[in-house]
Amino acid sequence: MAITYKDLRILFEDNHIIVVEKPQGVLSQSDASGEPDMCTLLAQYRKENENKPGEGFIGCIHRLDKDTGGVMVFAKTSKAAERLNEQKENGTFEKKYLTVVEKEVPGKNGTLIHYLKQYEGKDKVSVVPMAEDGAKKAELEYRVLDVKNDLSLLEIRLITGRKNQIRVQMATIGHPIVGDVKYGNGLKYKMKLPLALWASELKFAHPISKETMVFRVYPPEILPWTAFNVEKYLLINMKNCDRWSEEDK
């Protein structure tokens, strides 16, 4: 049965923004496939719950790959969308991910810089020389949280936001994400595992009040996540809808 807005977990909502946990397997925005997407689902939610004529405005501020789940923020007004996009441009809109990759990642942390390009007619993104026409810089920072059973649990902070960035960069250094059929060896396990990439944290200033807001969500309690003590690394204030301000920490 197709997903509806009633299946979505809303973490926070006011007159300006709505913060939601995107399920894996759901598009961020509509495409030619006609499959359900977060923007359309949330517009339907607003239409049916706010007694407003027409579709409710939903501004898509950032995207997650279809197979990636986790926390997303959407704007409910054009002003909120403009101000959140400004934060993206100036680097104050912060995104962190958890991922489980194959093999032990050496060291405790690192920075990856590659140049990526998507060729016309291809769904995959490729690492290319910096000087190649159309190449876009991709940068991320990673921290090794734990290593078990030839798998590594990483926290990743995106510096840039390119399509499939984490997936292709980790695969390029020989540590593809568990369950990644497109860039890794997702079929090597006896059971088919979902992509082990999760948008675990968002940090931004509220577009109107300017309050610093932080949202964190757990990945699903399935393999390979359950091989690690994720709770140790993701502290969530469940009492306040998974959100707290800097002053609360």
**3-class secondary structure, 41:** helix
Q: Which residues pair with 24 in a beta bridge?
A: none
Rounded alpha-carbon distances, angstroms, from residue 98 to 18, 40, 58, 152, 248: 22, 26, 27, 10, 23
Q: 67: closest CA among 156, 144, 166?
A: 166
Residues of the chain with pLDDT under 70: 1, 52-54, 186-191, 235-249
Q: Enter the CATH code of domain 5-248.
A: 3.30.2350.10
Q: 207: closest CA among 81, 28, 44?
A: 81
Evaluate whether 208 touches 18 at the Cβ level (below 8 Å).
Answer: no
Evaluate whether 206 touches 148 at the Cβ level (below 8 Å).
Answer: no
pLDDT at 190: 55
**65 annotated active-site:** yes
**3-class secondary structure, 171:** helix
Out of 7, 14, 37, 65, the active site residue is 65
Rounded Cα–Cα distance for residues 134 and 129 (Å): 10
pLDDT at 41: 96
pLDDT at 123: 86
Look up the pTM and report it.
0.90
pLDDT at 187: 57
Residue given tokens 């926390």 in the structure block: 71
SS3 for 6-33 is: HHCEEEEECCCEEEEEECCCCECCCCCC
Domain residue extents for the chain = 5-248
pLDDT at 2: 85
